[in-house]
Structure 1
Amino acid sequence: MPKDPKHIPEAQKIRRKIKEKSSKYVPGRVTLQVLGTGAEGAPRSLYVFSDQSRYLFNCGEGTQRLAHEHKMKLGRLEHVFITQPTWKNMGGLPGAALTIQDVGVPHITLHGPPGLDELFVATKRFVVMKNLQITMADCQLGNKFEDNVMTVEYVPLERYETFGNTSKEKAMNQEESIITSTSSELSSEVNSLDKDIQAGSSIHTVDTGTSTRSTRRRNRSRRNSQSIGPYIPEDIIEDDTDYYAHERKKNKRKRSRSQTVSGTRTAPERIAESSKLLLSKTKEKGIAMAYICRLQPRPGALSLEKCVEHGVPPGPLLGKLKNGEDITLESGVVVQSVDVREPDDPGPIFIVIDCPSPEYIISLIENEKFKRHQKYALQDSEMACVVVHFSPTSVTENIRYKHWMDEFSPSTSHLLLNDTNTCMGSISVHRIQYKLNLLSPDIFPLLGDKGSKVIDAEVNENCSKKMKTECESLETSMEATSSDMTLTSVQESSLSDCGCLSANTLVSFHLRPRKGLDRSGELKLIPSQYIDETKSIEGFKEALQDLRLNIFNKKLGLHYKSYPKVIFFGTGSCIPNKTRNTSGILFETSDTCKILLDCGEGTYGQLVRFYGPTKACEIIKQIKAIFISHLHADHHIGLIGFLQGRRKALNMTNSDDAPVYLFAPKQILNWLIFYDRCFENICNEFVIVPNSDLILEDENIAADEKARIFDTLNLNAVNTVLVRHCPNAFGICFTHNDGYKITYSGDTMPCPNLVKLGMNSDLLIHEATMEDELAGEAVIKMHSTTSQAVTAGKNMNAKFTLLTHFSQRYAKLPRFDENFAENIGIAFDNMQVRLSELPILPLLYPALRLMFAEHYEELENKAVKRQLRIERQRSVSRDRQQSNNHLVKV
């Protein structure tokens, strides 16, 4: 959600001044640093920083979260280089752009294949760029980008079909022939698609502010029962909804009905007109962009020792020598600057390569621009210092690609940022999970992500036998982690043998001063440190013992069932932070059927981190449906990455599962169809079921379609209601064949319709964005406070209420009070809980308060200060009113 923009103009002004001042000299420090390794579920991104500027090569989904955790401030980032317009390279751009905007960056330039900037055209309704100008560089062959830090040469790579010993010339002729022959077919195909998604004669408008729905039904054709493609309603039109209007101070812009309908082109028409060139040149041709980067030459540093040897006195003469000027001493001796300076640095070269598939290798190996920096270089300074490979393993293991790599000088380093790596890049998620695991290994299991190095894997060598017994399950999990660490080391060894270097997060390569590879800051996990931090808290050990006794006693009265179960992948709001990702919940109904509730950025990565890559592959195949509550980015921007991850899992196991059911506002199709046509095919991965067709007591769904859904999901009811948030925001309720009922609110203010929908639910999962004292802010942003969420559960007679979607000010723990009764729980990322285990959650509160005592105390202090400020304002207001009353009497 957009922040208050008052600070942005001043921040932009300051940054312009800093930029103007720093651009006058060549920086003395330039480093490449790995941010996202490209491991399964992790982004792939290379961070380049100097004394003054920042650059990013690729920005996969989850990049901004890693940048936030590792303090790679994006405040000076002004250039983003994308190798290919695919989600794995640019899925993090929308979120990163919002962060960049909020810190006051006025302008950012995208570099890459044509059409890359179309991403922001497609997301403009839910990624609002009011204070950030985004432009696209002209990256044609022969063009260059240059500033005071480096020069970047664009080298497009094209896909060529190869058959036997087909030469490049023949392949190029073939490619040209294919493009020419299919040109008319492409136009015909796009026109055909336009007809498939025609706009209705009018717009069906929903006002969610009052949680009501028009009773007028919409006529639409039904999906054929044998179809495996996406169901697309006929009345999809261009979505011009302002999804953040409720947060702006000005009244929502009103439009007449004629303005809404007349002259409005359908989304397909707009896409067909604006994107044909993009489809033919970028998507169909599959252009990938490589970058040859050379740092600007820099004069050698002035050597004071040499100056003394040549008799140069202190003073302004030193400045002249430093600037490259020759000087004449009083004795008449001429001192040349080259005699008293270190050798000039001509500027090292690094190359960024993304060869998406073997079909691109011909374009790569026969390109003369790369040969200039291989062993054929005319001079040593022309040889590449390091080559960064985003190319996937299927390419880097290709014999022709390996031969091309061998053509570089032995002094050239090769850094892999691809699926060879295993490090997912985060310490914080493991740190908090090790802590929470002490409370309940069942509810907070150690993460399946074992790709990071583990240091000191013993829980605590000095702990007593009693504590060791209590932590037995924890030690067992950590031994498995230690075993996986050995596998990682073996992997690194094999990579080094072939001349390539693995690229764990925070691995650096220093270009200036030229120091090469640096692993000193490499991400490492230290479990014993995280656990000892918690155990050393005063009173925690005693509280932990009491908790375990209470859990034991509580379990005696519980009747355990394996399902249903909910797993939280994201429990924060707006943007991700170190410990809470954006919304994503897995609702497991059985060992073969699962439903995903919302899909914020990084949801797929969270799933991989929780289960580990192997098990995640099995789990994701079992997800039969996805519910998107509304079209704010923090609830659905991870959907494309998730659909692609699901397709990959199906392909890896040769599965042929049906497309996933997508319960969502139908307006989401504008975004998904745009992406499908302009970038990558995704529309065959889902079957849309509009949320508006499942409205309680006003369903508009065919009986046969409804039966198929219920049979697939083992349900006997699925209903939605409009809730009080942005336009087209919904809550949902699932009633299972086994009789239990689970309700999920999405984002909403207190909503009678939701209470009606979820009456007598076994579980209500409700947003609780704000603490009670911030009720005014909650109204502005149309969210609920903790007490309002608890009251919603009471009003619907829910057996248990689980709170989630906390403001990022509650990164570790929200404030809670006596309202948190025995049937109220707090959700954490990577928490799993069965319906039968819910009564255990309230037992955790005392230990949680101790575990996060410092954070909780800070929240309490802020609350006290806020209350004092309010009291002062009230006092001033009363005094002013009394003064005015006195004047009136006089």
Structure 2
Amino acid sequence: MWSTSVITALSSDTEPAIMLTFNEGKYIFNTSENTMRRFLQSGHTWRRTKALFFTQARIEKMGGLPGLIMTFADATITKLKLVGPSGLNHLLASMRLYTYRDSITVQPSEIPWTTTLSSEPTPCFSDENVTVYGIPAIPIPVVEDVTPDLSNLETSGKRKRDNSVDGPRKRPNTEDENATMETEVTESTVQEDPEAYRQTIIRSMFPGTNIPTPEEIAASKRGPPAVNDVVNFSNADMEQRRKKAALPMGFWKQLPKFISTVPLTKAPPTMSYLIIGPPTRGKFDVAKAVALGVPHGPLRGLLTKGETITVEVEVNGEKIQRTVRPEDVLGKAEPRGAILVLDVPTPDHIPSLVTAFKTSPFYYQFWSEDPASLSLKDPETLLRITYQTCGQGVLEDERYKAFLCGFGPHVHHMVASREHCPDPVTFTSMSQNQLRLNKLDEKIFPVPKYSLVPKKDISTISGLPTNIRLMSSSDRNVMRPYAAPFSDPAALALDKFHPLVNGEQSLELSPFLQRYITAAKEHIAEVEASGELPPIAGSDVGIVTLGTGGSLPTKYRNVLSTLVRIPGWGNVLLDAGEGTWGQLVRIFGMQDEGYNVWQALRDLKCIFISHVHADHHIGLGHILAMRSQLDPPPKEPIYVVSIRNVHLYLREMQDVQDVGVDDPSGNGVVHVLSESLHFHQLGSYVTQGMWQIGGDEDWLEYNKSVENSRKMCDALGLEYFKTADVEHRCRAFGASFKHKDGWSITFSGDTSPSPSLRELGMNSTVLIHEATMDDEEIVMAQRKAHSTMSQAIAEGEKMNAQNILLTHFSARYPKIPPFILRDQNLLRVTPATYRKDGFIVPAFDYLNLTIGDMWKMQFYLRPLVQAIHEGGEIEQDDDIARSRSPSPMRFPPSKKNKQVSRREPRSSKKGGMYDGRGNGNDRNDNAGRRSPSRTMSPAPYSEGSRGSTQDRRKIASSGSAGG
């Protein structure tokens, strides 16, 4: 038995991802951003995944890849194959600075665009379950609509490939690749064979040197799930193990420039896939076996496996040897089932795709210009279903209609088209909670934007096949025994949102919740009428918490990103984890009128990325790629403030997709180095240790970066934008910026309590501080260089911050930070006890605040907790907990790291990135090192573990209603 499922459909925050499921393995086609998070929402599992396939080497199709690989590795998947078009290796190698797992081997294969359409095409992938063929589709403008010759696509001046172009390019297979990794790469290798160099880089990212044994894998599966988003002690040394691994020459330099082998056009070429399932033998005919003298037992089993046997039988009183062939006792075999995955972004792709099926005898068996003739055939392989992603104008194109009809009436067509598909909510668990919270405050708790009505009705398009339906994330199709596509009842049952908004069910609020909502609104009205609240600078400045989770997404929280909206000036984005673009769309929408996501994107003038960990920057490329598509283009540039490795990642991505780097128009990406904005302002970069800049490229020039930052401040009306080195396991920065109107915001990024950040952020209007761990997990927080919730609050109080916004909560706490539930005083705030300053606000996804609104959250906590409780959904994040419970590593945790000092760190003006005590060689941003000038700071209390409890008591006694 095998089946297909739609993991993600086409929506505001996902692209289609199709999964084939066998008992022995799974195969996934495309992994856009949010693929892993959707796994959690849908109840599907990624276990036993063997291969991933990509129709384009672009962010839209591969944005979820790095997170998935690391998740797979931690879920004890030890080998993974990747298949995609040219550019796959370059994009994968560009992830080297933040993606590393030594418990898995990743084997990428690129399919050349010059793949010939022969009568016997070479599979791009094959194993016991599937045989997969890649079908290139090169965009050909209508004025050139002639039969394309795909074999002559390489133009003069382009790099030539090996003579063997029909199959995918694979990495060399040696007995011990890792042993020679350092010596096999030379400067000439990098220049003369950049593709081989990229493959060497990829092997260093996934060396497979720490693959667990089968016994260790079995033991890990028997153990209880570790419900955390920070790996436990045995996996915490992953970055240290990478630091000790041999890295290829030039690892920290920019990759060789990727040069496409096809002419560059506005629309990218795509790779479609034909997938053929395993053969299925015919039914064993017992009567024939008996007549031929085949006894019960192993011999019959050999026949079912396709082997010829010899049996001794008696004929006319004589014993003879009889040869029995499988066809003598087996009925007619079932046709092998086949699936077609099509990616057709524009009508210009249609001629190339049609040519493949019209001119190749192999593909022609599935398609005919006379569809009626297909029903007369007796095929060995039968195409059952197509999955199509269609761009604007494709479905209405007469050529495409004829192409689809050519597959015959028996084929089912699943279509994803932004013009014709609705845009339902993807993460229904979180959105269901938001419906209740919206009753509390429509502005602060907006319902994610969605649409259940498509822009165009597909039924109005004449000439399409009859078996066509719009793709949905609940779609499933059983290939053997075959069943037509259907909506999976189990998937529909998990959706608690859409039945509430389409009228199938009513949103019921308990009497308790209704009473709490009414009381909160009355209390706020009373406070507003009293005039007790002092005016606050920047009261109209917006703070939108797009993602508030820790290092992993959950159904309820995406990874970190916060949008700051400055009225009349523009927007600032603080970190951009995977899926940030989708979160922006869900907040602002794509409607034509009003302030939509396109206007928010035009207003975006600065993106600050704190460090190069995946949960903080993977979404950056997608945002910039969408910005590059704005029409008309933006009038001003966008300033990206970060460390060199983030800028390097963008420059390498630019080779395969336009993200606005080096835009000659002047309105693209402008590089600003975090180091050049350090609040100590020494006038040059640090030249040694882990805080050295790490390269000598022209775009790193210090004075140019400072000049760019001044232009950025002018564009946003800022007095300054400064950074501080913070305490984390890699080179990381916090930031603080002050507006000319007098308000200021400080952002921590990931850090344990940091004296530098504390000094920089003194008297901030708002401190946005990570609060990854609960106070009970202080040792884990210390080891992972994160902050506990009480530590974050204490840092804000030491800064004298007027407001403290807590975010970046571990997946251990997917709904409500536990300190809120422990302190009942936080849930009993009244106009007589509320806090008039120093507001403490726990962040939730889609929280749409202004600085002037933050005080209201203390009154909203009680109904908020009740509303989420009434969501009634049992926690189902076990899959991610199990997957990120560490692979059974062979390196036990260091005993000396289990005990952590609780001393208050000493602040020193000479500390941090300017004390020069690094080793001069550590340029790895995942090296797991901290600022060399300080010890780690687990808690800002000199009284040990009592500090966090006392801090909560202090907040409660002062009438705090924060968290």
Distance 2:582 2:331 in 1: 48
Q: Conserved in 1, the CA contact under 8 Å of 2:625 and 2:657?
A: no
What is aligned with 1:514? Answer: 482
1:491 aligned onto 2:457: yes
Matches within 5 A, 1:44-443: 44-137=16-109, 139=111, 141=115, 142-144=121-123, 145-160=125-140, 163-164=143-144, 166-169=146-149, 175-176=153-154, 179-181=155-157, 248-249=236-237, 267-268=253-254, 271-272=255-256, 275-276=257-258, 279-280=260-261, 288-300=270-282, 344-367=333-356, 368-369=359-360, 370-375=363-368, 377=374, 379-381=377-379, 382=381, 384-420=383-419, 421=421, 422-443=423-444
1:532 Cα offset (Å): 7.3
The code of the aligned residue for 1:366 comes to T
1:565 aligned onto 2:542: yes
Identical-residue share of aligned pairs (%): 27
1:120 Cα offset (Å): 3.1
Q: Conserved in 2, the CA contact under 8 Å of 1:763 and 1:798?
A: yes
TM superposition score normalised by structure 2: 0.68
Q: Conserved in 1, the CA contact under 8 Å of 2:561 and 2:616?
A: yes
What is aligned with 2:634? Answer: 656
Q: Conserved in 1, the CA contact under 8 Å of 2:30 and 2:61?
A: yes
Q: Conserved in 2, the CA contact under 8 Å of 1:550 and 1:843?
A: yes
1:43 aligned onto 2:15: yes
The alpha-carbon distance between structure 1 residues 286 and 607, as it changes in their structure 2 partners (threshold 3 A), is: closer
> After the TM superposition, which of the residue ranges 774-783 and 730-739 deviates more from structure 2?
730-739
Q: Conserved in 2, the CA contact under 8 Å of 1:86 and 1:680?
A: no
Matches within 5 A, 1:743-782: 743-782=746-785
User: SS of 1:543's equivalent?
Assistant: helix
Q: Conserved in 2, the CA contact under 8 Å of 1:82 and 1:89?
A: yes
> After the TM superposition, which of the residue ranges 140-149 and 665-674 deviates more from structure 2?
140-149
User: Structure 1, residues 69-118: CA drift from partner, whole Å, max 9, x if none?
Assistant: 11221111111111121111111110111111111000000112234133
User: SS of 2:409's equivalent?
Assistant: coil
The code of the aligned residue for 1:642 comes to I
The alpha-carbon distance between structure 1 residues 678 and 618, as it changes in their structure 2 partners (threshold 3 A), is: closer
Distance 1:810 1:674 in 2: 36
Q: Conserved in 2, the CA contact under 8 Å of 1:241 and 1:727?
A: no
User: SS of 2:655's equivalent?
Assistant: helix
User: Structure 1, residues 579-632: CA drift from partner, whole Å, max 9, x if none?
Assistant: 100011110111661111110000001111222222222222211111111111
Distance 1:311 1:440 in 2: 80
What is aligned with 1:842? Answer: 858
Q: Conserved in 2, the CA contact under 8 Å of 1:373 and 1:383?
A: yes
From 719, 736, 744, the equivalent of 1:733 is 736
The code of the aligned residue for 1:373 comes to F
The alpha-carbon distance between structure 1 residues 139 and 705, as it changes in their structure 2 partners (threshold 3 A), is: closer
Q: Conserved in 2, the CA contact under 8 Å of 1:160 and 1:172?
A: no
User: SS of 1:526's equivalent?
Assistant: helix
Matches within 5 A, 1:643-682: 643-648=624-629, 650-651=630-631, 654-680=632-658, 682=660
1:439 Cα offset (Å): 2.9
Distance 2:755 2:634 in 1: 42
1:535 aligned onto 2:509: yes
User: SS of 1:180's equivalent?
Assistant: coil
User: SS of 2:44's equivalent?
Assistant: coil
1:762 Cα offset (Å): 1.3
Distance 1:294 1:362 in 2: 24
Q: Conserved in 2, the CA contact under 8 Å of 1:435 and 1:531?
A: no
1:854 Cα offset (Å): 9.4
1:742 Cα offset (Å): 1.2
Q: Conserved in 2, the CA contact under 8 Å of 1:40 and 1:419?
A: no
1:647 Cα offset (Å): 2.4
What is aligned with 2:923? Answer: none
1:674 Cα offset (Å): 1.5
1:488 Cα offset (Å): 3.6
Q: Conserved in 2, the CA contact under 8 Å of 1:35 and 1:46?
A: yes
Matches within 5 A, 1:456-855: 485=452, 487-488=453-454, 491=457, 493-494=459-460, 498-499=464-465, 500-521=468-489, 525-527=498-500, 535-536=509-510, 539-556=512-529, 557=531, 563-590=540-567, 593-614=570-591, 615-648=596-629, 650-651=630-631, 654-680=632-658, 682-683=660-661, 684=663, 685-698=668-681, 700=683, 705-816=708-819, 817-818=822-823, 822=835, 823-852=839-868
User: Structure 1, residues 178-222: CA drift from partner, whole Å, max 9, x if none?
Assistant: x205669xxxxxxxxxxxxxxxxxxxxxxxxxxxxxxxxxxxxxx
1:162 Cα offset (Å): 5.5
Distance 2:450 2:103 in 1: 38
The alpha-carbon distance between structure 1 residues 158 and 855, as it changes in their structure 2 partners (threshold 3 A), is: closer
Distance 1:182 1:302 in 2: 56
User: SS of 2:336's equivalent?
Assistant: coil
Q: Conserved in 1, the CA contact under 8 Å of 2:346 and 2:392?
A: no
The alpha-carbon distance between structure 1 residues 130 and 674, as it changes in their structure 2 partners (threshold 3 A), is: same
Q: Conserved in 1, the CA contact under 8 Å of 2:548 and 2:560?
A: yes
User: SS of 2:340's equivalent?
Assistant: strand
The code of the aligned residue for 1:83 comes to T
The code of the aligned residue for 2:340 comes to I
1:547 Cα offset (Å): 2.3
1:710 Cα offset (Å): 2.1
The code of the aligned residue for 1:578 comes to K
1:355 Cα offset (Å): 3.2
The alpha-carbon distance between structure 1 residues 339 and 850, as it changes in their structure 2 partners (threshold 3 A), is: farther
Q: Conserved in 2, the CA contact under 8 Å of 1:383 and 1:409?
A: no
Q: Conserved in 2, the CA contact under 8 Å of 1:694 and 1:718?
A: yes
Q: Conserved in 1, the CA contact under 8 Å of 2:601 and 2:627?
A: yes
User: Structure 1, residues 518-571: CA drift from partner, whole Å, max 9, x if none?
Assistant: 0244655122799978734x8434333322322332333457987201111100
Distance 1:591 1:761 in 2: 21
Distance 2:293 2:353 in 1: 54
The code of the aligned residue for 2:527 comes to K
The alpha-carbon distance between structure 1 residues 439 and 803, as it changes in their structure 2 partners (threshold 3 A), is: same
Q: Conserved in 2, the CA contact under 8 Å of 1:80 and 1:111?
A: yes
User: Structure 1, residues 809-860: CA drift from partner, whole Å, max 9, x if none?
Assistant: 110011115596831111000111111111111122223343455999999x
The code of the aligned residue for 2:415 comes to L
Higher share in helix: 1
The alpha-carbon distance between structure 1 residues 600 and 305, as it changes in their structure 2 partners (threshold 3 A), is: farther
Q: Conserved in 1, the CA contact under 8 Å of 2:719 and 2:739?
A: yes
Q: Conserved in 1, the CA contact under 8 Å of 2:539 and 2:850?
A: yes
Q: Conserved in 1, the CA contact under 8 Å of 2:726 and 2:756?
A: yes
Q: Conserved in 1, the CA contact under 8 Å of 2:547 and 2:559?
A: yes
